[in-house]
Each structure stands twice: as C-alpha cells, then as structure tokens.
Amino acid sequence: MASHSDNTKDTADTMLAQKLALYADILRDCSAAGLHYADNIYDQDRYKRIQDVAIELLALATTKPLEELEPLRATLFTRTAPLPSGDGAVIDTAGRILLIRRSDNALWAMPGGALEVGETSAQGVVREVLEETGVACNAIALVGVHDSRFCGTVFFQQLYHFTFLCHPLPNIQPIIPPSHAHEVLEMHWFPEHALPDDIDPGHIRRIPEAYRVWHGDPEAYFDRVDEKSSTL
C-alpha cells in the first residue's frame, strides 16, 4: 500500500508535469506565431530555438523521448491557438447519458474529440458521437465552453472544450461497430444519479453542467474573467 508521502510526491510530480506542459504550450504558441510573421532569417532562427525549448519541455512533462515528439514540429507546433475540441452530452428521454470507456486511459467520458476545419462546433460533436458510438444525434443546446486548464483535463496542450447537449435521433438504429470503435472499450447509458466512479477528470465537472441544461437552465457556461486570476 502506498504511503501518504508517496501519494504526496505523486501529486507534486503530476502538478509539476502539468506546469511544464503549460509552459511548453505557451512557448509553442509564441514560436508558431513568430515563425508565421517573422520576415528575416535572424528572427526565424530565434523562434525556431524557442520551438526547440518547447519540445524539450514537453519531453520532460510527458517523459517521452525527443525523437518521439519530433514529428509534432510539423503539425501541432505550427498551430498558433488553443485546440478546439467538442464533446456530446447525449441524454435520452429517460434522462440517461451515453458514456464511453476510452481506450487510451480506460476511464468513462462523453464521446468527443478534436474539431475539424470546415465544420461548426456542433457539427463536429455530432460527427464525433457517431464515429465513437454509432449513435446518430442532434445537438440542441450549448452546455458551455470550458478551458482545459480549469476543468480537470489532463493534456499537454491547452484546449477549448465545446460541450453540447444532444438528443439521440429516434427510430435510427446505431451503427455497429462504429467507425472509430478502436477508441472505445465499451459504451453504456447511465442514469443521472448512477454514474460510474471512474470518470475522466476532464468530464467530472462538465457532465453535471450538461444535466443542468437538460433540466431547463438555458445559460451556457464559460470561464469568467474574474474567476481566473492568472493563466500560469
């Protein structure tokens, strides 16, 4: 059994890793913007060095080797803004919510993922739900937009989570297996007061928000300026 000191050290290590990942993400954003606008080779070299430092910090935060992260230089590290993602709170007429057990961490979560160019946030959520569960749905209300830094999400880059309340479409059978079945270990409909204990940290707060909207509160959540005193 782990001792109290071991648990304290694990918590401190996790907090340090998240802080390093945040610093890496800030430098990634600075370098991407700088490389986009720099008009001389000297500034370009400086921003490339900042990018190098960002990747090195990310390696420390994730304990992954640099060569494994190097391919991100041409993809993730060229983006100049937080990544948008979308999740569908699919709740049926009986008040049950559709959750998936993710294959990457074996925790329960709302179906969702990265939004793509050429689609609205609601369209992206409907697509993600269909891909991961085979369930066709409509997005009927915006639950909120959550900053990943403040809602429990464990990820090495800042995300904006768009959460939509969705209704499953009646008389349409789910697609089995769904196209992205490899991302899901299992799926289940849970009553509001019988949710599983092992929910992904980034979804623990947002699922009750979805039920708040489902119960009739139309106000969408967002992180208010006065609630967040610092970005670091």
Residue 141: in which H helix or E strand, if any?
strand 137-147
Instruction: Report the candidate in 175, 15, 202 with the shortest Cα–Cα distance to residue 107.
Output: 202
Evaluated on CA atoms 159, 222, 143, 102, the torsion sign reads: positive
Question: Are the CB atoms for 61 and 20 separated by under 8 Å?
Answer: yes
Structure tokens at 57: 């910090």
pLDDT at position 60 is 94
pLDDT band at 89; cut points 50, 70, 90: very high
pLDDT in tens, 189-209: 999 999 999 999 999 999 999
pLDDT in tens, 48-61: 999 999 999 999 99
% of the chain residues with pLDDT over 90: 72
Segment 17-22 shows an average pLDDT of: 89
Is the model's pLDDT at 228 over the cut of 60? no
pLDDT band at 224; cut points 50, 70, 90: confident
Segment 209-218 shows an average pLDDT of: 97
Q: Looking up tokens 């929910």, which residue turns up?
A: 199
Is the model's pLDDT at 2 over the cut of 80? no
Tell me how many degrees the CA angle 21-27-28 measures, rounded to the nearest 5.
Answer: 85
Is the model's pLDDT at 46 over the cut of 70? yes
